[in-house]
Structure 1
Amino acid sequence: MDEPSKIYRVGDATITRVLEQRLPFKTQTLFADFDPAVIEEHGTWLKDGHIDATAEHFILSVNTWVVRVGGKVILIDTASGNHKNRPFSALFHQLNTPYLERLARAGVTPDEVDFVLLTHLHVDHVGWNTRLNDGRWVPTFPNARYVFSSAERQHFDTAAGASRRMVFDDSVLPVIEAGLAEEIGPQGGQYLPGIRFHSTPGHSAGHMSIELESAGAHALFSGDVWHHAIQVYRPAWSSMFCADKSRANASREWVLERAADTGATVFTPHFSGTSAGEVTHAGSGFTWRFL
């Protein structure tokens, strides 16, 4: 898991992955529409680290992407975090990963981060927003602006749902109270020169995908419009984590079309392997190539 991360160049930007953890999910649990025929159809690439040896579990990653552009250091999503109470999921409960050491190996210290851009506010995307210091949750990146969807904040900043409230209170609220948060309206829009939030709801209430354009080249940080590369070939499959499957399907189709039409390098939070690739049109559908 500590292999050196590839550095991608998109125009004048460089992009590097920081991998927090890899996780197995039963195929039929992750996708209610799972059809075993896809294993035979796509077995050649699936067996290269995207499914386990028994072909019963898809392998997912939990990633942060480090973007350097225009003299700024930007993080896209912040994974799950350490020492956090997550009784609703053993996958995220009281983790103790060397995430900050991996971030340092990518050449970044917390004080150097200028912006933290969040696709949405789920447990595995906001965890390293904060760290535990003398019994208090404090911003991990004290000099950064944390930017997220206003619709997401409104949804999670409610008393309904103990797990939802728990994640918000320890991983989002502290950065708001520290005066470091900025919100993007529900339709998305440009935040920095060349960086735009696109509304891609369905997985969550105010989910956003983030696009970077630099020197005529495009990068697309998809967020959780998908969880596994098999969804490029089965875009009608929404995962168990999608709140509104119909809207999630529409958002996934939009991302596929956008990526194929712009020639974007796509950076995903959960695909295994390199987690990055290209989408191209293939007949009436799409195909994926890992980079």
Structure 2
Amino acid sequence: MREQRREIVLGDVTVTRVVEYFGPVDIAPRAFLPEAPEEAWRKHGPWLTPDFVDADADVVVSAVQTWLLRSEGGTILVDTGVGNHKERPYAPVWSRRESDFLGELARAGVEPEDVDLVVNTHLHVDHVGWNTRLAGREWVPTFPNATYLMPKADFDFWNPANGHTPNLGRGNQNVFEDSVAPVYAAGQALLWEDGHTIDGNLRLEPAPGHTPGSSVMRLASGGDRALFVGDLVHTALQIMEPDANSCFCEDPAESRASRRRLLGEAADTRALLFPAHLGGRGGAEVARDGDAFAIREWAPFARL
């Protein structure tokens, strides 16, 4: 691997970190991870500050970022953040934003027309926002030449026509209508089940629990390995406390099982772990530590 400020190379794949937001998300750490024992907060609190927790304000600190991959000639975005101008009445921190995400993407050398694939690891509010942009009074796909890979289980679960009652409550209100359905209507969505091979370096596989369709994207190229795990690991404390779900997990038991499986695989294969929202250096190499895990080394990105 060679290190750059925004970019690393894993085998034949270039991975660039494109950050839409980094800061507080207006939820207390103990409410965010209600199952984490108090002793864990006391033990790990000092190093969780300031990259993952604002101790003075007692709020979680989170990154909203997109992983930009260049693999086998293709340009791939993994998760698309919050988006601009979206009405989010039950998630006010993400409502009516006006970020320079497309400018950040351009500074990484990519225009919307250049994107070949968009991977939504799941269909939560902060993973699909830039799927679409406002054109006049219509939501249209931001990336006109891209195929959007969406897990069918999540597409069905979040479709309001199917009448599901999510654990997230109304936190995902309007998301399907403004960030998912327009892509599907444009014929650009590919709904996958069981697994989907992107190319010789990249493959999507189910990792349910956080949502019914939560997925992991595996990178295997040359001797390098990486796992892009979405929200199965939402914050760094869950590496040391793998049984502690976030308050947003739909199926707690399934979420724990998927998290432990992926952390174990990362530790055993020396794969870099890239959660969707990790601040600091964005990812880590993990090691087994008894019945849990520890951070062996941070990923070689510049610290936010």
CA–CA distance in 1 between the matches of 2:172 and 2:56?
Answer: 33
CA distance in 2, matches of 1:63, 1:50: 14
Residue number among 269, 289, 293 corresponding to 1:286 in the alignment: 293
Choose which of 234, 243, 248 in structure 1 pairs with 2:241.
234
Structure 1 Cα separation of the partners of residues 221 and 153 of structure 2:
28
Match of 2:12 in 1: 12
Once residues 8 and 68 of structure 1 are traced to their aligned partners in structure 2, the CA distance between those partners, rounded to angstroms, is 11
Equivalent residue pairs, number: 287
**Higher mean C-alpha displacement, 250-259 vs 22-31:** 22-31
Match status 1:77 vs 2:60: no
**Contact 1:5/1:17 (CA < 8 Å) preserved in 2?**
no
Aligned twin of 2:94: 92
How far the C-alpha of 1:165 sits from its partner, in A, is: 5.8
1:48 deviation in Å?
A: 4.3
Is 1:203 equivalent to 2:210 in the alignment? yes
Give the match's secondary structure for 1:169. Answer: helix
Pairing of 1:1-291 with structure 2 (within 5 A): 5-22=5-22, 23-24=24-25, 25-54=27-56, 56-159=58-161, 160=163, 164=172, 166-185=174-193, 187-288=194-295, 289-291=297-299
Do 1:11 and 1:216's aligned partners in 2 also have CA atoms closer than 8 Å? yes
* Secondary structure of 1:20 counterpart: strand
Mind listing any 5+ residue stretches in structure 1 that lack a counterpart?
none
- Give the alignment's TM-score, normalised by structure 2: 0.89
The TM-score with structure 1 as length reference comes to 0.93
Q: Percent identity?
A: 39
Supply the distance in 1 between the matched residues of 2:259 and 2:55 (Cα, whole angstroms). 28
- Unaligned runs of 5+ residues in structure 2 are 300-304
Partner secondary structure for residue 280 of structure 2: coil
C-alpha separation in 2, matches of 1:285 and 1:238: 14
Matched-pair contact (CA < 8 Å) for 1:80–1:127: yes
- Give deviations 1:208-241, integer Å, cap 9, x for gaps: 1111111232121011102100000011100111
Q: Is the 8 A contact 1:156 1:165 kept in 2?
A: no
**Could you tell me how far apart the structure 2 residues matched to 1:15 and 1:269 are?**
14
What amino acid does structure 2 have at the position aligned with 1:80? V
- In the alignment, is the contact (CA less than 8 A) between 2:49 and 2:55 conserved in 1? yes
The secondary structure found in structure 2 opposite 1:211 is strand
Aligned-partner Cα distance in 1 for 2:73–2:159: 33
Answer yes or no: is the 8 Å Cα contact 2:51–2:61 preserved in 1: yes
Letter of the structure 1 residue corresponding to residue 176 of structure 2 = F
Partner Cα distance (2:159, 2:173) in 1: 7
Indicate the larger mover: 144-153 or 37-46.
37-46
Q: Helix, strand or coil: the match of 1:124?
A: coil
1:19-60 CA-to-partner distances (Å, cap 9, x unmatched) read 111233301210112434324322442124222142722311
Which amino acid in structure 1 is aligned with residue 183 of structure 2?
Answer: V
Deviations 1:249-270 (A, max 9, x none): 0010011011112211121111
Work out the CA distance in 2 between the residues paired with 1:38 and 1:273: 20
- Cα deviation, residue 83, structure 1: 0.1
Please say if residues 158 and 165 of structure 1, whose CA atoms lie closer than 8 Å, have aligned partners that are also in contact.
no
RMSD (Å), alpha carbons: 1.8
- d(CA) in 1 for partners of 2:154, 2:136: 29
Give the Cα–Cα distance (whole angstroms) in 2 for the partners of residues 189 and 32 of structure 1: 33
SS of equivalent to 2:130: helix
- SS in structure 2 opposite 1:64? strand
1:281 Cα deviation after fit: 1.6
Q: How big is the shift at 1:163?
A: 5.8
For the residues of structure 1 that align with 2:61 and 2:39, how far apart are their CA atoms? 18
- Aligned equivalents of 2:132 and 2:115: distance in 1? 13
Does structure 2 retain, via aligned residues, the 8 Å contact 1:27–1:34? no
Question: Match for 1:132: what amino acid?
Answer: L
